């Protein structure tokens, strides 16, 4: 077999929906990562506090959670594509509040609306990707998606750094959010090319169904776990636990690094660029590993690497941070490829929307509580405590993965 034939066979799934999603995600991720670089500092500059940041995270993740059950339920009942384009347009306009925000409550409003729209999108996007990637290529497929997404974000922190150096923090952040509005509008147009992957009945569907069908959506979303392997439940629980603790420390990385470790603002942008680059360079090897040796061992390795991150972060110093984010990036690359592939292997196609909706509902509720807890601990107990607790949480997650999580003998299509 020639090199061209091997490459064509290896990457044959990179077309249609997968290509559309990768393109639109890369546009959105590049833009969204620009204001995210200094988001917490922006909130502080507009009159917020560390606890306000945590309270905002609480609201954001509750907004995401509120639409997960109906989003997943309707994705399985009425299809994947129906609202994707309109919701992406809506996300674009929600960011206008951030562009014009005179104080932090306007940022809260804009990002809360964005998260409501994003929350309705997540189950559909998750399901359409699982539907579109062949089972034998899922490790590689999800890794390539991650590679493209993170490659798009490599230079975003540096763009944010230059904007804030040129215009100052507040005006620079307004320009960053304006870039996000334009990019999301472009992504919505690209997503108009998606092709539906599930045969559905759209008779009688309207937006009002979102509320009428909510109770049934919750019931069916919870019931889906009775139809899935117990190993899948354990896998989900480890992901949910890490999401809770991750929400405790993620908003405070830039605050702790700049205020406690005294890392310069532009140096922080370079660290974030390094973080994205590490995920890009490790994405394909991670996916190949998940397809070659299975999903379990890369998942376990990701926990070991993740455990190193908070300890190195707290140690401080620019070089130590670069090592910390190399480990964090490697952990993310391994986990993204292996977890998503194992999830797709274990969940039947007709249940993927409901499973994703239920999973993300629980995860986002836990992240809301994690954000609020992190804000309280950071401001009132110790800035280092959210990072320390994250390290502690990785130990049981790694042990559960090692001893109790198994791959299905028969992979779902």
Domains of the chain: 15-195+207-404 (1.20.1250.20)
Query: Does an H or E element contain 133, and which?
Result: none
Tell me the backbone φ, ψ of residue 408, rounded to 5 degrees.
-65, 145
Using CB atoms within 10 A of its CB, is residue 345 exposed (0-12), middle (13-18) or buried (19+)?
buried
Q: Which residue is listed with tokens 């940041």?
A: 53
C-alpha 253: how far from chain center: 17
- Structure letter (DSSP) for residue 83: T
CA angle in degrees (0–180, nearest 5) for 295-299-302: 145
Alpha helices in 250-384 (DSSP H): 253-255, 265-293, 296-315, 318-346, 352-380
CB 196 within 8 A of CB 80: yes
**Mean pLDDT, contiguous 10-residue spans, the chain (413 residues):** 57 69 86 94 94 93 78 57 78 94 95 85 68 66 71 90 94 96 92 69 53 68 80 88 92 94 93 90 81 85 94 92 95 85 78 76 90 94 95 92 82 65
Q: What does the alpha-carbon distance between residue 33 and residue 411 come to, in Å, rounded to a whole number?
A: 35
Residue 207, pLDDT score: 52
- Structure letter (DSSP) for residue 207: T
Residue 147, pLDDT score: 73
CB 372 within 8 A of CB 54: yes
Pick from 154, 58, 148, 157: nearest CA to 336: 148
Pick from 5, 10, 231: nearest CA to 134: 10
| pTM for this prediction | 0.80
CA angle in degrees (0–180, nearest 5) for 154-325-249: 105
Residue 73, pLDDT score: 58
Q: What does the alpha-carbon distance between residue 352 and residue 346 come to, in Å, rounded to a whole number?
A: 10
- Structure letter (DSSP) for residue 259: I
């Amino acid at each position: 077999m020639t090199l061209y034939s091997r490459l064509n066979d290896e990457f044959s799934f990179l077309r249609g929906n997968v290509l559309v999603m990768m393109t639109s995600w890369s546009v959105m991720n590049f833009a969204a990562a620009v204001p995210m670089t200094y988001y917490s500092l922006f909130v502080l500059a507009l009159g917020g506090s560390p606890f306000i940041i945590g309270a905002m995270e609480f609201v954001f993740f509750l907004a995401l959670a509120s639409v997960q059950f109906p989003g997943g339920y309707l994705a399985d009942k009425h299809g994947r594509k129906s609202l994707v384009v309109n919701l992406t347009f809506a996300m674009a306009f929600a960011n206008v509040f951030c562009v014009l925000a005179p104080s932090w409550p306007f940022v809260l409003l804009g990002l809360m609306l964005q998260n409501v729209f994003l929350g309705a999108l997540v189950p559909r996007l998750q399901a359409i990707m699982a539907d579109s990637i062949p089972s034998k290529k899922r490790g590689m497929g999800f890794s390539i998606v991650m590679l493209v997404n993170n490659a798009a974000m490599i230079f975003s922190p540096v763009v944010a750094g230059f904007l804030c150096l040129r215009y100052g923090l507040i005006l620079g952040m307004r320009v960053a959010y304006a870039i996000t509005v334009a990019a999301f509008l472009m992504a919505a147009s690209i997503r108009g090319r998606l092709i539906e992957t599930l045969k559905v009945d759209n008779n009688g569907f309207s937006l009002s169904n979102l509320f009428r069908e909510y109770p049934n959506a919750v019931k069916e979303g919870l019931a889906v776990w009775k139809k899935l392997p117990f190993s899948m439940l354990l896998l989900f629980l480890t992901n949910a636990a890490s999401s809770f603790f991750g929400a405790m420390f993620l908003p405070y990385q830039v605050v702790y690094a700049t205020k406690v470790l005294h890392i310069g603002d532009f140096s922080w942008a370079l660290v974030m660029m390094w973080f994205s680059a590490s995920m890009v360079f490790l994405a394909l090897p991670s996916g190949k590993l998940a397809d070659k040796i299975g999903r379990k061992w890369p998942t376990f390795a990701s926990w070991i690497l993740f455990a190193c991150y908070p300890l190195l972060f707290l140690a401080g110093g620019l070089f130590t941070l670069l090592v910390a984010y190399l480990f964090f990036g490697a952990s993310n690359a391994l986990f993204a490829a292996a977890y998503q592939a194992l999830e797709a292997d274990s969940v039947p196609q007709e249940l993927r929307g409901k499973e994703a909706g239920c999973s993300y509902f629980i995860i986002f509720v836990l992240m809301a509580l994690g954000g609020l807890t992190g804000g309280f601990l950071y401001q009132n107990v110790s800035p280092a405590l959210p990072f320390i607790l994250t390290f502690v949480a990785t130990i049981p997650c790694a042990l559960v993965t090692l001893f109790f999580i198994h791959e299905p003998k028969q992979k779902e299509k």
